[in-house]
Structure 1
Amino acid sequence: MKYSELRKSVLDANFELYESGLVISTFGNVSAIDREQGVVAIKPSGVSYKAMNVGDIVVTDLDGKIVDGELRPSSDLDTHLELYLAFPSIGAVVHTHSFFATAWAQSGQGIPAMGTTHADYFNGPIPVTRQLTDEEIGTDYVRNTGRVIVEALGNNPPLSIPAALVNDHGPFCWGTDAADAVHNAEMLEAVARIAFHSRQISKDDPEISSALLRRHFQRKHGQLATYGQPGRSK
């Protein structure tokens, strides 16, 4: 089978996403990119996670044209493609409708960086996009969803804040590969839940200091990281 390794990584990541409880029914999707070959593998649209097999994973080029596969790709494909084009350092994208992250998105609010749990994975607040205009919704809606994510991330390196909330919609996350992107989606939901409850306790949104944020993020990421064991994943 063509692109078997890429497809298998995407299938496994979709299974992990489902088993984590971050998606229900046929919501959500995972994709991964092979930049050398210029192709993206993604979950097929509307197919049950329980019923998927490796041959169901659809492979497209960076224009969204199917190059291998019999099924229709995820309806979110163009959002994924826009992120791959804008963020050359990423290798995979995940979209969920996870409960707490989606609640923040639907409220139109980003997730403030309130403590070290957040700082271990995200080097700042999780941004929320602006609302799409009527024109953006009516013309190239899915591609424009990706564009407002890129706009919301601003000048932040994408792997320093590997997530964004789409206003009125839900979260998108990304990572170095499919497994990393799913892990970031799991961590996003965890910090979204913690932040929700923290706000119930204190209405003042007490944010972590910039020094403590930086210290915790850098201990797990980059060349100066001290967390974990060399050569092993976090």
Structure 2
Amino acid sequence: MSSKYKSLKEECYEANMQLNALNLVVYTFGNVSAVDRANGVFAIKPSGVPYEILKPEDIVILDYDNNIVEGTMRPSSDTKTHSFLYKNWDDIGGIAHTHATYSVSWAQAQRDIPIFGTTHADHLTADIPCAPPMSDDLIEGNYEHNTGIQILNCFKDKNISHQEVEMVLIGNHGPFTWGKDAAKAVYNSKVLEVVAEMAYLTLQINPSAPRLKDSLIKKHYERKHGKNAYYGQ
């Protein structure tokens, strides 16, 4: 593959293949993108291409206005959501979207995922937010672009930072995650799915299970994040 975007395409391809390897997608229902801020473009999986035949050269390169810069296939149907987030959050490097079972179940229930345990607190200190279902006028408009608006409005309304909470559920739809690069976005997708499953099982065992107390949230988050972190090498 000869392309000035070769490394970007390969990053995007590997992240998409990891999404599949982690059992976060069903058939072709999912996508990952990776951004190149220096060149003002991002790479994304082509729409509807099965993972078993996907190749790095199939990855589509677009600018932030959704114009195809390089590629012969149609990009993911969620492309406009990705571009909207890249334009509005200039510090993120990758975005992932899945239809993973437990994450989607919480989205369909239109519920935030409560912080019940330390696995959740290892990654973030807040409930995982669920944006309300999209209004009819937005659905009838530029739907995928408006999904990006839906995400930003959710974070504004709940007074949440996208830098601290790198994941969201879209009511009746499913999850989006992001991070410093495409690999981190996929990592966050897996974390979200695991936490969603644990929270579901917790409520089956004890429907009145309490949220994790603040002292444990603080301890578990800070031992992995921040200047005094001591987890890992």
Band of TM-score, shorter chain: over 0.9
CA distances 1:28-81 after superposition (whole Å, capped 9, x unpaired) = 000011111110100000111111111100000010100011111100011111
Query: Among 11, 29, 32, which residue is 1:30 paired with?
Result: 32
1:212 is aligned, of 213, 216, 224, to 216
Normalising by structure 1, report the TM-score. Answer: 0.95
Task: Give the TM-score taking structure 2 as reference length.
Answer: 0.95
Identity across the alignment (%): 44
- Equivalent in the alignment of 1:139: 141
Q: Which residue of 2 aligns with 1:168?
A: 172
Structure 2 residues without counterparts, runs of 5 or longer: none
Please list the CA deviations of residues 158-213 of structure 1 after superposition, one character each: whole Å capped at 9, or x if unmatched. 13111000001000011111111111100100000000000111212411122321
C-alpha contact 1:32 1:42 (8 A) present in aligned 2: yes
Structure-2 residue corresponding to 1:53: 55
- 1:219 deviation in Å? 1.7
Q: Is residue 89–residue 158 contact of structure 1 (8 Å, CA) maintained in 2? A: no
Which residue matches 1:20?
22
Specify the alignment match of 1:111 in structure 2.
113
Q: CA deviation at 1:122?
A: 2.0
**CA distances 1:59-105 after superposition (whole Å, capped 9, x unpaired):** 00010100011111100011111211222221100000000000000
Alignment correspondent of 1:182: 186
Aligned positions, number = 229
Question: CA 1:209 to 1:86, structure 2 compared with 1: closer, same or farther past 3 Å?
Answer: farther
Paired residue secondary structure (2:221): helix
Task: Say if 1:13 and 1:182, in contact at 8 Å, map to a contact too.
Answer: yes
* Larger CA deviation: 62-71 vs 214-223: 214-223
Counterpart residue number, 1:96: 98
Partner Cα separation in structure 1 for residue 125 and residue 88 of structure 2: 19
Query: Does residue 149 of structure 1 match 2:151?
Result: yes
The superposition leaves residues 108-137 of structure 1 with CA deviations (integer Å, 9 ceiling, x where unpaired) of 111011110001112210000011111000
What is the one-letter code of the residue matched to 2:12?
V
Structure 1, unpaired ranges of 5+: 230-234
Amino acid at match of 1:17: L
C-alpha RMSD over aligned residues: 1.1
- Give the whole-Å Cα distance in 1 for the aligned partners of 2:171 and 2:120: 20
**Residue in structure 1 matching 2:206, options 202, 207, 219:** 202
**Corresponding residue of 1:193:** 197
**CA distance in structure 2 between the aligned counterparts of 1:164 and 1:148, rounded to whole angstroms:** 10
Distance across 2 between alignment mates of 1:216 and 1:55: 41
Name the SS of the counterpart of 1:94 in structure 2: strand
SS at match of 1:50: coil
* Matching of residue 87 in structure 1 with residue 89 in structure 2: yes
2 CA distance for matches of 1:184 and 1:171? Answer: 10
Distance 1:113 1:83 in 2: 25
The 3-state SS of whatever aligns with 1:228 is coil
